[in-house]
A and B are shown apart, each in its own frame.
Chain A
């Protein structure tokens, strides 16, 4: 295990990035690694975690066939901290926590296990922790996403991937509202009904839902819900762009989310399709060996710089 933390890493909690997007095969894992590499390149001590609890494979992108330590060693208490589970990579300043694909039940984490993992992540000695989430919109995936400081939503420029990424954001919003109203049966029912896109109440937007909440209950409830929604600030990144126009995919989710979900998403930029990455993945060559001037890594560096400039990177 490398122990090359910056001074900040030893004194503060790491900034946690969650990389999600709903659909499989859109390059979430590759993007997680590229962002991690870009941060490490900038001298930031970074840990990338395979958060795909049902189908862990991030280690294969690092050229690791069988990980000697995984997240399961922490869950099963063989390791006391996540730092102990970290494995070094060929890139200076970048470590990896491999996923626990051998324990399929992890896909159905208990609440206490989830809390334990989240607390442990916040105690990792690093500047940044990148959490590569699994596909889909399961509660665990959404909870990890929502707990992060920086919520990255990845999509490719294809309509289905955009729609899936939007569904991911939509479910994150309703997961937030469901948790918030879990002890308020009448409000909970209202939120649950609004989740159904064809609900009879004709609630088609979160804004309308909050109006109904204010009408049917205490206006303070609606205000509280709005405050929680403001904390969801997804950063939208278009992966595998082939033309500049493809990068507009993020704009679509930004506009639809603003109108229907009351969410202010941020455009994180785009990563150009890079055949070198595909070749490396096929050959199980560690992505850390990607050429420094490759399109993909340069795009990731630009994204990280942009996010640093916007104050959250």
Chain B
């Protein structure tokens, strides 16, 4: 992966998003593993964990982690992301036909959706899907890295696994400015059609964030489509689809807020052997019914953190000075210090203990509504309210 200068911003962004995007560096498997206890259903975190394991040549563990990531992605309707995790899993141990068929059945059953890559994989039969999976090559890009320029010979077609890029069409004479379109996860791009002739890139495509793509080259696709013409039909049609700019804008916003709403947190614990209670405060943007990542306020001392690690904290979720949910207990599973040495920011990941049904429902209501509902709210907010 291309290196990205860490620029953690724990006060304003999701900690999990920052870890996944490498804005908060985690190089050690041991450091990431406890975080999976806090967020056991996060597919991107499992994918990150699997990549770390694979990098450490721990093939068996990596294979299991990729398998878990693929399953969680599919549960979340993220077909392409699941397929990429599966490609990586199967690159370690070749699957049996049974496993392949089972995975294909799951893609057909749980897949679907409106985005181009979702449509693509939900419509392929088993042979077509496996053939395409075998031919996809992974590409990682850093922000500002150019995929191709207008006028350059077109050599590949790309599917966006994660991240964002800008596609800029050359400025038309008389137009005020060039047309720029945001491409994001599940989009397909690349001007390689018709496959039988040389073709030129019609636009400039540049990564605007850390990006993961999968690509297939023109000659390979041409050979593949000779036997499987439906792959060509689908790719040709879907690579021309561009999501309207308004919709794309909200999707970008949603991604940064997917895990939860920002909230204030109070963490109470016993500070020493005398049983004195201590309260530290913080904020969170990473909350699930399984656990929470709390960014502690700047007045939290290292001794507070050390004491907190040894104790069983009780958490209260606040909105302003009002208690929204209280009585949550758990264990500190993970800690991280980011920022400058002179002014460090402490982050803790806490797994929740089993909780009363009413608390679980309240917590679920607080941190989750469905992606569809959330998307519609953001989309409408952009259109109707945003100034």
Contacts and interface: CB of A to CB of B under 8 A. Distances in A.
A255 interface: yes
B362 A159 contact: no
Interface string A117-146: 000000000000000001111110000000
A196 B377 contact: no
Contact of B324 (A24, A139, A204): A24
Residues of A in contact with B, size category = 35 or more
Nearest to A160: B261
Interface stretch (A212-220, A227-235, A244-252, A293-301): A244-252
Interface in A197-246: 197-198, 200, 202, 204, 243, 245-246
B381 A256 contact: no
B76 A163 contact: no
A223 B355 CA distance: 34
A23 interface: yes
Contacts of B366: 136-137, 167
B385 A245 contact: yes
Contacts of B64: none
Contacts of B319: 23-25, 135
A259 B365 contact: no
Nearest to A242: B387
A157 B382 CA distance: 11
Interface of A is mostly: helix
B246 to A, nearest CB: 14
Contact of B320 (A25, A159, A202): A25
Contact of B377 (A24, A134, A162): A162
B379 to A, nearest CB: 9
Contact of B369 (A197, A251, A252): A197
A204 B370 contact: yes
B146 interface: no
Nearest to A192: B361
B121 interface: no
A1 to B, nearest CB: 29
A181 to B, nearest CB: 15
A251 B377 contact: no
Contacts of A195: 361, 364
B25 interface: no
Contacts of B253: 159
Contact of A252 (B262, B371, B384): B384
Given A55-B322, A163-B261, A197-B373, A157 B364 contact: no
A260 interface: yes
Nearest to A142: B365
A260 B380 CA distance: 14
A255 B377 CA distance: 9
23 contacts: A24-B319, A24-B320, A24-B321, A24-B322, A138-B362, A139-B358, A160-B261, A162-B381, A163-B261, A164-B261, A166-B377, A167-B365, A197-B371, A198-B75, A198-B368, A245-B387, A249-B384, A249-B385, A252-B385, A255-B380, A256-B373, A256-B380, A260-B376
